[in-house]
Amino acid sequence: MLKTVQRWARSKWVQAIALGLASALLVLGAWSHGRFRTLENKSLDWRIRTFTNVQRPSDIVIIALDDTSFDSKDFRDNFGRWPPRRLLYAGLVHYLNEWGAKAIGFDIFFQGADPHAGDDEEFAAALSGKKNVVLGFTLNQGTFREADPIAREKLQDSLKQFALSVQGDESLQFAPYSGIDLPEGTLLNGASSIGCATVVSDQDGPVRRVTPVFRFRNRYYASLPLALARAAAGVSADAPVKLDAGPSLDFDGHRMPLDDQGRMLVHWYGPASTFKNYSIWKVFNAARRYEQLQEDTQVSPEEFKTKFQLLRGEFKKKYGLLPEEFKNKVVLIGATAVGAADFRPTAFSETHPGVEIQATVLENFLRGDSLRSLRPYVAGASIVGMSFLMAALVYSLDSALLYSLLALAAGTVYFGAACWFFRAESVWVPLVAPLTGGGTAFLASTLTRYATEGREKRHYRKTLMKYISPTLVETIMTDLDWGSLRAEKKNLTVLFSDIRGFTSFSEKYPPETVIATLNEHLNLMVSVIFKYHGTLDKFIGDCVMAFWGAPLAQPNHAELAARAGLEMIEGLEKLNEKWQSEGRPTLHVGVGINTGEMLFGNIGSEQRMDFTVIGDSVNLGSRLESATKELHASIVISEATYSEIQPLAKVRPLGEIHVKGKEKGIVVYELLGMAGSPVKPAPMKLKEVAS
């Protein structure tokens, strides 16, 4: 059981799944606790600035209490400084309706009585019966302003007429409000509709979400933009507002997605001044001039229109507008002057006029194009998907450069897709958390793979050093996949070297002499094999088995084996001279070399694998070594080997011999020498060998 678990733990796919899951859970936990909220919001702001096609909506205009108006002496003489006399608004309501405005909304809060006697009554009279005019009010987290229970009840009754009928709000957690700032009582009594102009910024500052429906004291009230949109669309005041599952708000056939707090994302159309702005003083002067013309020309309305056509140039030049520019428009009246306006930070600016924010939300309702965000489970799935994808890339490819480039490409594709969805479909796809999940999984997988494969490579390097020349080990290790060395047939050269008469030798001398002599002999044999870039297969008692041509491809493998055999004989002769001078016994060996097709690879059982060669050609090499005794030759090579080295080799023909397992005789030669110096094998990567 333990071995099974260990084997599973070493599996690269188990590691990939585990690291992908761990990274996903880590990022999901941080994401669910809001750790990425600020960065995700900033990424949304960047997309808004980058991909918003600036456009000027034509159905909404703003009449602004701007700096131009307050800088005018005539304006100050007639209406004073901030706040201006309410007589100003009475005239605007009258003439905007006469000019054909579809709806009029005030992003101005008329708290308390106007100090000028009769102004509130004049304004209330202008409001009376005008169902297309909406006054603004605000909600706050303060205390209810009416401390007296009777006054509070009276205020509740006055608000009751403006309350909305809402269907399907059970799943929404509306923000609680305890304070309210309403228009002055006279104006409230004259108004047909009111709308809440409260706008709450996100924790990091900018306005991104607004509340279309507010709850106060167990009743619901429309926001200023929603109330204006209902008025412009001719929706009856008692018509219910539908909050569908999802959740979403159903307005005029449009589905406006909401979050679980009943807020909608603002779909922006551009920075400040995107909407057409008119200076309130110029509008009022145009209205007053229009009124004078009506009083001076006692004619029918049709004749007045004809005469007015002659004065259009004067109006446009002097006031910058024409009365028909307000026909069928939704008009918002609010402040943009410094010191008077409610400036809020947005994705576009730190000082975005509040009245333009209200206009933007109003346009969202009229068009039905609120920005949409993905549901939490979809966003969570993207985090999990990116985490597993990155872990899979790291563990499925051997090249660090390749999987790094593919990981970068995958992240770029996700980034591009998120940008495309925002621009083309107005969908806010989360960026920061999924890319963080993918980055975490990539980093964790890379480090883990580096650590585990580094340990494995150290083990493989240590193992290879026993079989292969150290100069070749590093070449192999740069592209080693030990498990991929499956057995396959190759044309190789095998060498067997065996001590003659070793049994009698070991019986004649003390064990320590035998072991010391044998170790020196084997050290010589191995050093020669490694010198000629051979692979040490194994020791079979006193016999040494080696092969050439794998794992690195060696086109001259027969030549390298032949030269190694000659140097083994030469090196042993020098060793014998040394031993003889020391009074120690000498040794003699026979070497057999054969070239042919062999099965090469990692061969064995689950418990033990050997890096070896097997096959009939290998057996023949062993038989040739055994035949050296009868043939009285030090090195016997096969005809196949001789054909590979013939231009270089000096040989003595030995005729045919018959070996066990072969019906036909084998032509063999004694190798006496090699011309020239050996050609070293060109270093090649292991994957080139496998191919």
List Cα–Cα distances, 668 to 270, 431, 633, 653, 658, in angstroms. 92, 74, 11, 7, 10
Q: How many whole angstroms separate alpha carbon 229 and alpha carbon 57?
A: 14
User: Cβ(371)–Cβ(208) under 8 Å?
Assistant: no
State residue 34's pLDDT score: 87
Q: How many Cα neighbours within 13 Å face the side chain of 582? A: 12
What's the rounded Cα separation, in Å, for the pair 500 and 511? 18
Please give the single-letter amino acid code of residue 586: T
Q: Could you tell me if 341 and 390 lie in one domain? A: no
What mean pLDDT do residues 650-658 have? Answer: 92
Which range of 27-31, 331-335, 677-681 scores highest in mean pLDDT? It is 331-335
Closest CA to 493 of 620, 589, 369: 620
Across 54-58, 326-330, 378-382, which has the greatest mean pLDDT?
326-330
Of residues 135, 263, 134, the one with CA closest to residue 210: 263
CA angle 674, 568, 634 (to 5 degrees): 75
Higher pLDDT, 398 or 330: 330
| Inter-residue long-range contacts of 172-175, CB under 8 Å, 24+ positions, other chains counted | 172/243, 172/247, 172/258, 172/260, 172/261, 172/262, 173/260, 173/261, 173/262, 174/211, 174/213, 174/214, 174/215, 174/261, 174/262, 175/200, 175/211, 175/214, 175/215, 175/261, 175/262
| DSSP for 267-324, written as a single string | ----STT-SEEEEHHHHHHHHHHHHHHHHH--S-HHHHHHHHHTTHHHHHHHHS--GG
Going by DSSP bridges, is the β-strand pair 635-638/330-335 parallel, antiparallel, or unpaired? unpaired
In this structure, the answer to whether residues 303 and 442 fall within a common structural domain is: no
**306, HSE (Cβ side, Cα atoms, 13 Å):** 5
Q: Which of 460, 479, 510 is the last residue of a domain?
A: 460
Q: Compute φ and ψ for 674, nearest 5 degrees.
A: -135, 135
Residue 517: is its pLDDT beyond 80? yes
Instruction: Say what the pLDDT of residue 682 is.
Output: 40
Whether residue 53 is contained in a domain is answered as no
Per-residue pLDDT averaged across 380-399, rounded?
Answer: 91
**Residue range 13-39, pLDDT digits in tens:** 788 898 999 999 999 999 988 899 999
- Does pLDDT of 281 surpass 80? yes
> Does one domain contain both 276 and 137?
yes
Single out the residue in 345, 367, 389 at which a domain terminates. Answer: 367
CB environment 535-558: b (16+ within 10 A), e (fewer)? bbbeeeebbbbbbbbbbbbbebbb
**C-alpha neighbours within 13 Å on the C-beta side of residue 625:** 26
pLDDT in the model for residue 279: 94
Same domain, residue pair 310 and 362: yes
Indicate whether 326 and 453 sit together in one domain: no
Q: What is the pLDDT of residues 107-159, one digit of tens each?
A: 999 988 999 999 999 999 999 989 999 999 999 887 555 566 776 777 777 88
Q: Are residues 416 and 539 in the same domain?
A: no
Read off the pLDDT of residues 184-195 as tens digits, 9 standing for 90 and up. 989 999 999 999
Non-local CB neighbours of 604 within 8 Å, separated by 6+ positions: 610
Rounded to whole angstroms, the Cα distance separating 105 from 440 reads 50
More confident site: 387 or 340:
387
Both 102 and 169 in one domain: the answer is: yes
Residue 222 belongs to some domain of the structure: yes
Q: How many domains does the chain have?
A: 3
441: containing domain: 10-33+378-460
**Position 468 pLDDT exceeds 60:** no
My answer on whether 685 and 554 are in the same domain is yes
Residue 674 lies in a domain: yes
Q: What is the pLDDT at residue 681?
A: 44
With contact defined as beta carbons under 8 Å apart, do 571 and 587 qualify?
no
More confident residue, 551 or 39: 39
Residue found by looking up tokens 């496998």 in the block: 690
Tell me the β-bridge partners of 278.
Answer: 63
Site of tokens 């947005």: 346
Residue 178 falls within a domain, yes or no? yes
Domain boundary among 429, 460, 491: 460
Query: If pLDDT is split at 50, 70 and 90, which confidence band does 429 have?
Result: very high
d(CA 333, CA 89): 9
Confidence label for 640 from pLDDT (cuts 50, 70 and 90) = very high
Q: What is the pLDDT of residues 568-621, one digit of tens each?
A: 999 999 999 999 998 888 899 999 999 999 998 777 665 566 678 899 999 999
Q: Give 484's pLDDT tier (boundaries 50, 70, 90).
A: very low
Pairing of strands 276-279, 60-65: parallel
> Is residue 575 helix, strand or coil?
helix
Reported confidence tier of residue 471, pLDDT bands at 50, 70, 90: low
- The percentage of the chain sitting over the pLDDT mark of 90, rounded to a whole number, equals 54
The answer, yes or no, to whether residue 384 has pLDDT greater than 90, is yes
Least confident stretch, 300-314, 559-573, 575-589, 654-668: 300-314
> Does 52 reside within a domain?
no
Residue 307 has pLDDT above 90, yes or no: no
The domain that holds 631 is classified in CATH as 3.30.70.1230
The mean pLDDT of 662-689, rounded to a whole number, is 68
Report which of residues 452 and 125 the model is more confident about: 125
Q: Say yes or no: 75 and 204 in one domain.
A: yes
Is the bond preceding 83 in cis, omega lying within 30 degrees of 0? yes
pLDDT given at position 352: 94
Q: Mean of the pLDDT values across residues 658-667?
A: 84
Residue 55 has what pLDDT?
Answer: 85
Which is it for strands 330-335 and 103-106: parallel, antiparallel or unpaired?
parallel
Say if residue 475's pLDDT is above 80: no
Q: In the numeric block, which tokens belong to residue 607?
A: 């418990």
- Report residue 450's pLDDT band, with 50, 70 and 90 as the boundaries: confident
- For residue 38, being part of any structural domain is answered with no
pLDDT at 683 over 50: no
Q: How far is CA 425 from CA 321, 383, 420, 568, in A?
A: 36, 21, 8, 78
**Mean confidence (pLDDT) of the chain:** 86
Residue whose token pair is 């292969």 = 468
Task: Count Cβ atoms within 10 A of the Cβ of residue 495 and give its class: 0-12 exposed, 13-18 middle, 19 or more buried.
Answer: buried
- Per-residue pLDDT at 658: 87
Which of 676, 667, 522 lies closest to 587 in space, CA to CA?
522
How much is the pLDDT for 691? 29
Q: Are residues 414 and 494 in the same domain?
A: no
Domain match, 24 and 129 both? no
Q: Which of 497, 479, 615, 474 is nearest to 564 (CA)?
A: 497
Residue 5 falls inside a structural domain: no
Nearest-CA neighbor of 474 among 686, 681, 680? 686
User: What value does the CA radius of gyration of the chain take, rounded to a whole number of Å?
Assistant: 47
The tokens for 647 are 């231009």
Rounded Cα distance between 478 and 230, Å, is: 72
Domain assignment present for 590 = yes
pTM > 0.85: yes or no: no
Mean pLDDT of the 81-97 span: 92
Is residue 84 predicted with pLDDT exceeding 60?
yes
> Which H or E run contains 472?
helix 470-477
- Same domain as 543, residue 661: yes
The answer to whether 566 touches 671, Cβ cutoff 8 Å, is yes
